């Protein structure tokens, strides 16, 4: 386990940032606790206007140097600046001060729960706007107004409310393999006597890790990894997993990405409540029933694509985080990375990526979907296709398809949490489904930025690469 004490407690830049609430920020001597305090302080500085966005971006670079960022990658510059989050942070900090709670777990909880979204009822106007956005995430205010019958100014205000009250976010699926970047998710359970926390601490130092997830309810967790380069690099990583499984892992299940999708079904939302999709249950229980053909929002991993550049990768990665960002804003973000492309060229390149189905914008939302799961479904090809075909009936679900099966991240309403869980777990009884593993989560965690990972990769005319030996995970889990 790496010694976090070797890190600076906080960077000079972060220490210089001031907020009107510095008097309620506790003093600590733990690098992990300081990470969460710095995260909250930076958000408060942004919301109160005591730090510029450019300085905040530099400060986030220091936050990312802390291994804790791999475990809880909260980026204050990517969160909506509003009174709701600000007041929650202030309230939680005052609670810490009142009860003199300066231990790591208390400060981590104060930060994590500050950014949990409270469910709010949605107005008919906002629901109308959201309904258009779900099908057309990049339409202008005027275009949305024409479809919905609302005034453009009303649409503008509605989109702002959707962002602040319902965590509506404008993201995109991106086929990284177009630039020769492979995505692998490894589900695992440590062997008896091996602490998950210590394994997680070691994994944070592996520079290809994008996301990790595990809850206290089970020893099952997963790690997602982005692997630049050819099959030799993928093989080097997979071989190291096989070696580690002998001493470290009780259960290992490896998924190499073939496709990804995001599906939403607003027709289930009626009179302020979500109804349970009984048709989904029937279609999963009886594989002989035909599935209605519905357009699917899927991006397929097709491998290296001609005509793409490193600039395209950076542009697409920025647009992936905000698919409705004005082209001028994307151009400024590129300029900060020493890439000079004007807004017209940004628009042209984005359209090319979207038309080639390399980048697929989508809209995500909360809207009463308070319970999140992760399911690993190991199954044959027939069930992979069937599950994918049924997903458009879910309220909100993200999928990851591999030759081994399907990984699902459904967001569901609390009152139907048990029904969804039982429905998906019962798939294990079907012929052609080998196993169904589940992880219960309070909320979806974020992930490292692909651009942060790519900083250590080399770009060639064939796409990204890295030395095969760098993909040997045993070098980072040497204690096992």
Does the residue 215 lie in any domain? yes
In terms of domains, do 76 and 102 share one? yes
Are residues 156 and 189 located together in one domain of the fold? no
pLDDT score for 442: 43
Question: Is there a single domain that holds both residue 312 and residue 350?
Answer: yes
Least confident of 8-17, 257-266, 310-319: 8-17
- Residue 119 counted as domain residue: no
* Residue 405, C-beta contacts closer than 8 angstroms, at least 6 positions apart: 255, 376, 377, 378, 379, 383, 384, 434
Model pLDDT, residue 311: 96
- Give 443's pLDDT tier (boundaries 50, 70, 90): very low
Say if residue 157 is in the same domain as residue 263. Answer: no
**Does 109 reside within a domain?**
yes
* Whether residue 173 sits in one domain with residue 315: no
pLDDT band for 99, please (50, 70, 90 cuts).
Answer: confident
174 inside domain: yes
Q: According to the model, what pLDDT value does residue 233 have?
A: 96
User: Do 211 and 349 belong together in one domain?
Assistant: no
**Which of residues 443 and 352 earns the better pLDDT score?**
352
- 170 neighbors 322 (Cβ within 8 angstroms): yes
Do residues 317 and 227 share a domain?
Answer: no
* Domain termination residue (choose one: 133, 166, 199): 166
What does the block give as tokens for 57? 């971006």
- pLDDT over 70 for what percent of the chain? 94
Beta bridge partners of 273: 270
**For the chain, what percentages of helix, strand and coil (3-state, to nearest 5) are there?**
45, 20, 35
Residue 152 falls inside a structural domain:
yes
Please tell me the predicted confidence (pLDDT) of residue 480.
60
Query: Considering the chain, what is the average pLDDT of its residues?
Result: 90
Q: Which residue has the higher pLDDT, 209 or 414?
A: 209
- Do residues 289 and 426 share a domain? yes
Task: Answer yes or no: is 472 within a domain.
Answer: yes
The CATH number of residue 315's host domain is: 1.10.10
Strand partners, 300: 259
- Rama region for 420: left / alpha / beta (φ>0; ψ in -120 to 50; rest): alpha
Give the number of domains in the chain: 4
Print the domain residue range for 148. 124-166
**Pair 364, 233 in one domain:** yes
CA angle 219, 39, 84 (to 5 degrees): 95
The answer as to whether 106 is a domain residue is yes
Q: Over the Cα atoms of the chain, what is R_g? A: 22
Query: Do residues 180 and 141 both lie within one domain?
Result: no
Pairing of strands 298-300, 458-460: unpaired
């Amino acid at each position: 386990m790496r010694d976090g004490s070797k890190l600076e407690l906080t960077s000079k830049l972060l220490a210089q940032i001031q907020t009107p609430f510095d008097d309620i920020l506790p003093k600590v001597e733990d690098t992990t606790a300081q990470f969460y305090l710095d995260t909250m302080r930076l958000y408060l500085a942004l919301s109160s206007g005591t730090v510029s966005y450019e300085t905040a971006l530099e400060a986030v670079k220091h936050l990312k140097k802390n291994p804790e960022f791999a475990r809880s990658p909260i980026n204050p510059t990517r969160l909506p600046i509003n009174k709701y989050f600000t007041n929650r942070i202030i309230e939680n900090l005052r609670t810490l001060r009142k009860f003199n709670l300066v231990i790591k777990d208390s400060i981590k909880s104060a930060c994590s729960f500050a950014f949990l979204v409270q469910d709010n009822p949605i107005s008919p106007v906002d629901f109308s706007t959201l309904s258009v956005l779900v099908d057309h995430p990049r339409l202008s205010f005027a275009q949305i107004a024409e479809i919905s019958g609302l005034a453009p100014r009303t649409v503008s205000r509605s989109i702002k409310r959707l962002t602040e009250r319902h965590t509506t976010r404008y993201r995109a699926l991106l086929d990284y393999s177009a630039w020769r970047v492979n995505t692998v998710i490894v589900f695992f359970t440590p062997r008896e006597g091996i602490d998950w926390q210590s394994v997680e601490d070691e994994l944070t130092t592996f520079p290809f890790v994008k996301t990790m997830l595990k809850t206290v309810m089970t020893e099952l967790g997963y790690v997602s990894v982005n692997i630049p380069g050819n099959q030799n690099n993928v093989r080097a990583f997979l071989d190291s997993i096989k070696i580690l499984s002998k001493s470290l892992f009780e259960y290992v299940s490896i998924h190499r990405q073939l496709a990804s999708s995001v599906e939403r079904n607003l027709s289930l939302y009626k009179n302020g409540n979500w109804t349970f999709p009984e048709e989904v249950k029937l279609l999963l229980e009886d594989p002989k029933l035909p599935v209605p053909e519905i357009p699917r929002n899927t991006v397929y991993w097709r491998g290296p694509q001609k005509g793409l550049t490193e600039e395209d990768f950076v542009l697409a990665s920025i647009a992936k985080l905000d698919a409705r960002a004005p082209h001028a804003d994307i151009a400024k973000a590129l300029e900060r990375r020493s890439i000079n492309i004007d807004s017209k060229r940004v628009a042209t390149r984005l359209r090319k990526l979207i038309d080639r189905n390399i980048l697929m914008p989508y809209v995500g939302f909360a809207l009463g979907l308070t319970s999140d799961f992760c399911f690993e479904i190991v199954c044959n090809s027939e069930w992979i296709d069937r599950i994918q075909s049924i997903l458009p009936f879910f309220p909100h679900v993200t999928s990851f398809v591999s030759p081994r099966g399907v990984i699902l991240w459904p967001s569901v309403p609390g009152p139907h949490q048990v029904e969804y869980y039982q429905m998906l777990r019962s798939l294990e009884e079907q012929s052609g489904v080998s196993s169904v593993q589940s992880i219960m989560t309070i909320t979806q965690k974020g992930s490292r930025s692909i651009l942060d990972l790519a900083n250590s990769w080399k770009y060639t005319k064939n796409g990204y690469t890295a030395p095969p030996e760098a993909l040997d995970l045993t070098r980072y889990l040497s204690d096992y």
